[in-house]
Structure 1
């Protein structure tokens, strides 16, 4: 995650780096949604005026909430697969380990984004008026 480690200094460049990081997260989220698209095919399509990742009117809080819900669903899926393995319902150990790794990476990425956002917030609060 080379884009995450670059944030840390102060000033206007920090804001640009946060915006670039947000765009990377949105792009990666879009790619993950494309990969998991066949599973979500049964869901209803959003309305014409609905806010989507392609719609720039979506607020930062909504984007963050969607990302956290995605991480939560990945972790719930990994837990369900792990439970199924323990019950003997799933025999593919690779599938269980892959789900756990995916959940771990999603959590770690979320933690890094939180840390960077907290640092940016603290930098903004330290700025003089």
Structure 2
């Protein structure tokens, strides 16, 4: 799952809520996998990353750039919808709340990734040479 799949608002409110719940579960699953990988980091075998496609994977920097751009777009979209609603434009409140929740989930996922990266960096820097 990429954070880019968070974008896109439409459909019924129940469809959006189901999607949010799916995204939440995927984030929790990824967090559990990262926790297991972090706990087993000292093992010689390591943890293999699941293959998502048969094509050559993109670089880490490019993947992070796309993910951060997607989260930023979600934040901007939620802000625009909120502003439109506050101005009195014809905007469904359910769409506004869904966009804000999606932006929040994306931001929380980004924070979790950042925290894991910082933790890994600190672990690497504290290793004896």
- TM-score under structure 2 normalisation? 0.63
Q: Which runs of 5+ in 2 are unaligned?
A: 1-27
Give the 5 Å matches for 1:1-129: 1-5=28-32, 6-7=34-35, 8-9=38-39, 10-12=41-43, 16=47, 19=49, 54-56=55-57, 58-129=58-129
Query: SS state of the match for residue 128, structure 1?
Result: coil
SS at 1:3's partner residue? helix
Shift of 1:90: 3.0
Instruction: Tell me the TM-score normalised to structure 1 length.
Output: 0.63
Gap runs ≥5 in structure 1: 28-53
Q: Structure 2: how far apart are the matches of 1:63 and 1:78?
A: 23
Q: Structure with the greater relative contact order (CA < 8 A, sep ≥ 6): 1 or 2?
A: 2
Equivalent pairs counted in the alignment come to 95
CA RMSD of aligned residues (A): 2.3
Contact 1:81 1:90 in 2 (8 A): no
Q: Runs of 4 or more off by more than 3 Å in structure 1?
A: none
